[in-house]
Structure 1
Amino acid sequence: MARLGGRATSRFPGEMVQISRWCCCLLVLCSPVHAGLYTPSDQIFVLSPQNVEPVLVNSTAAVLTEFYASWCGHCIAFSPVYRSLARDIREWKPAVALAAVDCAAEENRKLCAGYSIRAYPTVKFFHAYSKADSTGKAFKASSHDVATLRHRIIDKLENHQEPWPPACPPLEPTSQAEIDSFFETNNVQHLALIFEDSKSYVGREVTLDLLQFENVAVRRVLSSEETLVKKLEVTEFPSCYLYSAGGNFSRLRVNMEARVFYSYALQRLPGVVRSGKPPPVKVAVLRNNTGEPWRPFNRSRVYMADLESAMHYSLRVELAAHTLIRGEELTSLRKYISVLTKFFPGRLVVMNLLKSVNTRLQNHTENEISYETFREWLDNKDQSLDTALPEGERWVGCQGSVPYLRRYPCGIWTLFHVLTVQAKNTGGTDPQEVLSAMRNYVQSFFGCRDCAEHFQTMATESLSEVNTFSAAVLWLWSRHNRVNNRVAGALSEDPNFPKIQWPSPEMCPGCHSLKENGEHRWIQDQVLPFLLAHFSSSSILTGADQHHGLFNENEERKGHGSGDLPSSKTGSREKNVHKSTKMIS
């Protein structure tokens, strides 16, 4: 930062956006490769002779690279750690990225020999702007502790020779002199000062965690910087203070003084946005962007309108792409309708419709069915009384700032969270029933095929380990958070609803804790009852009670409001609506 040898004192937004776009293009370049222990969904560049040069040679990013053999037992044991590390530092791109190459694959053997690989796994660190003849620096990866590996990455980054790479933020301690003149040379709204002792990595970790965000800068202040420490009367290390252009200091209030809580709070400061993403849109403008009136809602609640809208879209839109449903697809449809009939906590007219369709599907003896026939059942062509699934969509908690963001993906995730909780609360018999139905539906019908493949990969990894209803609830929650981690910052992320690890510290303080080494830890004994309460049938807001869950607009832009559902076949209109945890989009 303040180093005179040429290190940058701040990030340059235009340059950072350009570098970020380069990384996105690089991910696309690497994405077709599926081999060995890793896939692109692990947020790890899968290397091959075709893409190794743009990743490792003259790259603006430093790249930690694992050379492994897919038959190697140690490599297999290390792979979950490497995946966890990739998820943990995903925000550090484009300063540092993770890559891997399977040296057991015949097409990669010459590549690995060129990097002098003789044992597996071998992990090497390639500094930014590495030359074509570089074979990387040795990286000690014997530890299976993500925090230790993360700290070693920082050590390697700091060993980069001048000039300092523009993709990497300044990591060295700041001083009183730099702080005094900071806003004269840096165009940001917030400066976060993390006070810590010399052995702490928190300040550098948070600096890298905020790399992809504009309007905020992070600097570490050592406890030995007596002038600043005395001026702010700092007594806790670590602790974080905000400094504004007006010369005011204020303590950043967090649940716990640790990296994850600092990063989360700083990313949510007013005016802080992800680089290259538009700022959050005000409600008045949202009405114009979506072509529909904005329905204010409580982000901490689930709304029935979103659940019914998700069912409408899946059954009347997504399924309609399959003119003839047969074989495994028919099995998937039967399972889907079955779990909806058993566990969906819907209105009487909707439940009557689901029961009717389920009975017809289970009694259908042929191994195929036309969608036209299914649609007749769904639309209640027989005119049975009090039997209907409303047509059309009325997103409330799943609204997006523009029509193509959130909505159905948000709704279908929420629907299955509700079903897993209902299966536990209503005494289901098979802990995997809902998850299996979700897996089959996504694989057979979900329109986003890459999403379906990612979900299938997660299910293959660990779904068989789910043996209780509580485990099923927690499995879906943890996998949803993994998806949020993977897609945070993607074009599909709504700037009004950024992807986070959910529930947030504000929503469930007791769900968060720290390990002895300062790492974040989920308290699953608290997470589970939170999920069971949040997604329970008694918590779902319908037209009659949705006004009871209103938030003040100043509390994270949360609001009140209602949203009418479309007319059902019986001609009735009911107000219903769903949830918008920030996790679901």
Structure 2
Amino acid sequence: EWRPAVILAAIDCADEDNQQVCSDFGITGFPTMKFFRAFSKKPEDGIRITNPSATVEDLRHAIITNLEQSQDAWPPACPPLEPASAEEVRTFFQRNKDQYLALIFEKSNSFVGREVALDMLQYENIAVRRVLSSEEELVQKFGVTSFPSGYLLLRNGSFSRLPVHIEARSFYTYYLRTLTGITRGSYKLNATASSLNDSDRVSHPLRADRSKLYMADLESALHYSLRVEAARPSSLSGAQLAAFKCYVATLVKYFPGRPCVQTYLQTLDAWLRNWTEPELPRTVLKEAMKNNRDASHPSVLPTNVTWVGCQGSERHFRGYPCGLWTIFHLLTVQAAQNGPDKELPLEVLSTMRCYVRHFFGCQECAEHFEAMAARSMDKVASREEAILWLWSHHNEVNARLAGGDTEDPKFPKLQWPPPDLCPQCHKEERGVHAWEEPAVVTFLKAHFSPTNIYMDYAEPDPIPVAREGTGTRLGAEGSREERGRGEEEEKETEGEPRVPGHPGSPEPRRPSIVRLNAKLREGGEDIVDLDSFSEQHFKSQALR
């Protein structure tokens, strides 16, 4: 996270291939840690960090101490780490274009202010300075009574105390990164303003509350996973067909959908159970997955793709990967809430593993998920542990992707849940962020509850019911608009496969006899790789 001011590197001196380079650097035992100041030229320029039993916090402090001892020129990529004076604070906005100035008031032996300054190095429109408790003019001006404590100054002269749950580095850093107008900076070499297409930007973003789930996101992800990703191969057979059947069966069992969607999934599941041929052609599957609005109990999974909580600042950000993660978090929680804890603990996780392996469009992402699953998934011994496994490994993915090309600058990939959603989930141990796992489980069970699913922006039910206001949770009483028009038959247009943003129109009738159309073109759908594990210039682990 401190790049480009500090870059970490490691070398395995137990590997025979590294014998010469380790000898050149004077390594006679390990672990050995050395610090190279800016402009170092020779192996012997390294300064040995002498405490072999140092904690992560001790190492951070040693790095900062060595940074501050630079004798020649100050490292060009390093922010100011010395204490700020009253004069510097008074004239800061006259001399800088930043939107915010964060001040961390602390004792002289504290490293918190300098750590936060380095944590925020990659972020634009904000500067961080430490102020010592001995700087009486500033302490009195801001009414500081405890150390450390953080304050935020704006260009208009106003200021406020940072509203954090704990006065600690990770809480300050998280809050500052979520401020309006704060984005990761130009170190993203592949993302330049000139390369962005205006048509790719989301002109009218939908309003979303991060504390809520949205049925529009869930149904959009279901539609895309079933009708686009799983329907990409020309036919399903063997392990691929088994994985698809298992995915649908798990959705029937645990997905808390609207009645029309539950009927859709149950109908598809029954149809798949009756399919006994070794191979399932795509044309047959696509026919079977069409909507039936004319039944006494409509069988409908909306084809309109609408991202709300999963909407990105540009069309190629977030969307489907966000929705799919949300579905599987929801399924792990519902499985834990609706069955014996020790019975079939891997039911949902194994379903996700098979789906990602056989259908997820990003090959590299699928390979990485498979590696994570192979490493530790079999150790999950209960349904509650399955909730935590998926949560912790989703955070591992976020940490890997933070700062990469696929990260939405408006929605940085931080560790989740953040302190403002679940303050009791976070703690610090010896200066290092840690999770309070019992609190995390409690939060996840509440967050991924059917009562937290909201119907804002979802397609209306296919049958007339009472009118319902916006912001209504799934299952809450209320009324809903009647559909004032019939739906046209859902059509498959040759050469125009459906992708998010190009919704098809739902059909009124689902045939009881599925016929093959030999003339139907089997064109593959293009997948926009939204969550690629592409090479990243700066991989940071947020709040680690």
The TM-score range, normalised by the shorter chain, is: 0.7 to 0.9
Please tell me whether residue 250 in structure 1 is matched to residue 160 in structure 2. Answer: yes
Deviation at 1:382, TM superposition (A): 13
CA offset digits 1:27-61 (Å, max 9, x no partner): xxxxxxxxxxxxxxxxxxxxxxxxxxxxxxxxxxx
**Structural mapping, 1:112-151, within 5 Å:** 112-134=22-44, 136-140=46-50, 142-143=52-53, 145-151=55-61
Aligned equivalents of 1:273, 1:510: Cα separation in 2: 26
Query: What's 2:489 paired with?
Result: none
1:228–1:529 Cα change, 3 Å: same
Does the 8 Å CA contact 2:264/2:291 hold for their aligned counterparts?
yes
Distance 1:404 1:219 in 2: 36
**2:448 aligned to which of 535, 559, 567:** 535
Deviation at residue 432 of structure 1 after TM alignment: 1.3
Aligned equivalents of 1:468, 1:288: Cα separation in 2: 47
Among 324, 328, 347, the alignment partner of 2:239 is 328
Give 2:529's aligned residue. none
- Measured against aligned partners, the alpha-carbon deviations of 1:185-236 in whole angstroms (never above 9, x if no partner) come to 3221222111111221100110011101111111111122233223333220
Residue equivalent to 1:67: none
State the distance in 2 between where 1:454 and 1:410 align: 17
Is residue 2:371 matched to residue 1:457?
yes
Q: Secondary structure at the match of 1:234?
A: coil
Deviations 1:121-142 (A, max 9, x none): 4333333333154473323463
Q: CA deviation at 1:364?
A: 4.5
How many percent of aligned residue pairs carry the same amino acid?
49
1:54-88 deviation per Cα after TM superposition (whole angstroms, max 9, x unaligned): xxxxxxxxxxxxxxxxxxxxxxxxxxxxxxxxxxx
Instruction: Structure 2 unaligned segments of length 5 or more: list them.
Output: 189-196, 459-466, 474-480, 484-502, 511-541
Superposition map of 1:129-208 within 5 A = 129-134=39-44, 136-140=46-50, 142-143=52-53, 145-208=55-118
Tell me if 1:228 matches 2:138: yes
Corresponding residue SS for 1:243: strand
1:234-313 matched pairs, under 5 angstroms = 234-245=144-155, 247-276=157-186, 294-313=205-224
Quote the Cα distance in structure 2 between the aligned partners of 1:290 and 1:169.
32
- Tell me which of 535, 539, 547 is aligned to 2:470: 547
Kept after mapping to 1: 8 A contact 2:202/2:313: no
C-alpha separation between the residues in 1 aligned to 2:162 and 2:454? Answer: 34
**CA-atom RMSD in angstroms:** 3.3
| 1:486 is aligned to 2:400 | yes
TM-score normalized by structure 1? 0.71
State the structure with more CA Rg: 2
Cα drift, residue 357 of structure 1: 3.2
Report the 3-state secondary structure (helix = DSSP H, G, I; strand = E; otherwise coil) of the residue aligned with 1:369: strand
2:215 and 2:421 mapped to 1: Cα distance? Answer: 20
1:219 maps onto 2:129 in alignment: yes
**How many residues get paired?**
463
For residues 209 and 293 of structure 1, do their structure 2 counterparts lie closer, same or farther at Cα, with a shift above 3 Å needed? closer
Shift in CA distance, 548/125, structure 1 to aligned 2, threshold 3 Å: same
- Counterpart CA distance in 2 for 1:362 and 1:260 is 50
- Mapped to 1, the partners of 2:159 and 2:40 lie a distance apart of 41
Contact 2:102–2:150 (Cα < 8 Å) also in 1: yes
Q: Which residue of 2 aligns with 1:523?
A: 436
**TM-score, normalised via structure 2 length:** 0.76
After superposition, what is the alpha-carbon deviation per residue over 1:337-381, rounded to whole angstroms, capped at 9, x for unaligned? Answer: 221121111233332332333344445555543333332322369
Which of 286, 299, 302 is the matching residue for 1:375?
A: 286
Q: State the secondary structure of the residue aligned to 1:98.
A: coil
Equivalent runs, 1:321-400 vs 2, <5 Å: 321-362=232-273, 364-365=275-276, 367-379=278-290, 386-400=298-312
Q: Which amino acid aligns with 2:442?
A: P
Letter aligned with residue 245 of structure 2: R
Change beyond 3 A, Cα 1:131–1:518:
closer
Q: Corresponding residue for 1:44? A: none
In terms of mean alpha carbon deviation, does 253-262 or 490-499 score higher?
490-499
Structure 1 residue corresponding to 2:409, chosen from 466, 476, 495: 495
Aligned AA for 2:351?
A
User: Secondary structure in 2 aligned to 1:321?
Assistant: coil
- Distance in 1 between the 2:282 and 2:51 partners? 54
CA distance in 2, matches of 1:179, 1:418: 47
CA contact (8 A) 1:306 1:411 kept: yes
Task: Give the counterpart letter for 2:443 in structure 1.
Answer: F
Task: Name the aligned partner's letter for residue 538 of structure 1.
Answer: T
Contact 1:277 1:495 in 2 (8 A): no
- For 1:222 and 1:352, the matched residues in 2 are separated by 64
Match for 1:136: what amino acid?
A: G
Residues 441-475 of structure 1, C-alpha deviations (whole Å, 9 max, x = no match):
11222111222233223223322222111111122
